[in-house]
Structure 1
Amino acid sequence: MQEKLLIIQTESAVIKTFEAVLGSEYKLIVKNDGLEAIDWLEKGNHADLIIADAGMPYLNSVDFIKELRSNIAHRSIPILILSDLDKVTERNLYIHAGATDFAIKPLSKSQLKQRIRQLLGKSTLDSQDVLLAS
């Protein structure tokens, strides 16, 4: 069974990129904002990983993380926050709120896949990314 990635993103071009890069390996659930994502989870759905844009509308990322972490049913889901800003204070804010990881956009396809594998507890080696000398 494919692992489910809950992606919180409003930009259709970014959603299409996620679908192209990750769609064959994972079941992707896309929500436009944190409120939609929490509503989906509260209806008994489960995600193995959440990838959220730092600039999501309606419910800011920090409040989304805190809300998610306050519910024991969702407390252990890894959360990867993607941001345009590379500020230590912002990174610390998300991690302190309960995010599992923080990444600066844009990420290469291989970086994104590696982060996801790490957060899901899988091997970080991808046979397509490794060239062994004979």
Structure 2
Amino acid sequence: MKTQILVVDDDMSILKLLNFILSKDYDLVIKNSGLEALSWLEEGNDPTLIISDLQMPYLDGQTFVRNLKISGFYRDTPIIVLSGAENLENEVEGMPFKIDAYLQKPFNPTSLKSAITMVLNLYYTSGHAHNN
């Protein structure tokens, strides 16, 4: 069974690119907003990894991630942020919760795959992995 990754982004070109480069190796669930993603998670779904944009309508990525980190169930789910934010490093470092990795848009697909591999390896070796 493939590792399930929840991808949250409102940019269709990014979603198509992510689907193209990741769907061969991972089971992708794609949501267009933080609200859609939270609704999907509230149905009891448990992805191994979440990739989220920060700048989205309705519920921005920072609020979405904050909601996950304060929940008991998703607190340890690793998160990779993809964002076009100009000061992404400062924005991520200023967050009151842990982001496992972040990449600036436009991103290099190889860098993203490396970040996913690194984050998943840490997740599985840390003992946080749920038995999906």
- The reply to whether TM is greater than 0.5 is yes
Q: Where does residue 117 of structure 1 map in the other structure?
A: 117
> Unmatched 5+ residue regions in structure 2?
123-132
Instruction: Describe the SS at the equivalent of 2:103.
Output: strand
d(CA) in 1 for partners of 2:62 and 2:11?
Answer: 20
Query: Percent of pairs identical after alignment?
Result: 32
Q: Deviations over 1:96-122 (max 9, x none)?
A: 333222211111111010001111117
Q: TM-score, normalised by structure 1?
A: 0.83
| Structure 2 equivalent of residue 92 of structure 1 | 93
Report what 2:130 is aligned to: none
Q: Give the corresponding residue for 2:60.
A: 60
CA distance in 1 between counterparts of 2:97 and 2:58 reads 18
The runs of 5 or more residues in structure 1 that have no matched partner are 123-134
Cα distance in 2 for partners of 1:86, 1:3 equals 31
In 1, are the aligned partners of 2:80 and 2:99 still within 8 Å (CA)? yes
Runs of 4+ in 1 over 6 A off after TM superposition: none
Give me the CA root mean square deviation: 1.5
Aligned residues of 2:55 and 2:85 also touching (Cα < 8 A): no
Aligned residue pairs: how many? 121
Q: How does 1:1-134 map to 2 (within 5 A)?
A: 1-87=1-87, 88-94=89-95, 96-121=96-121
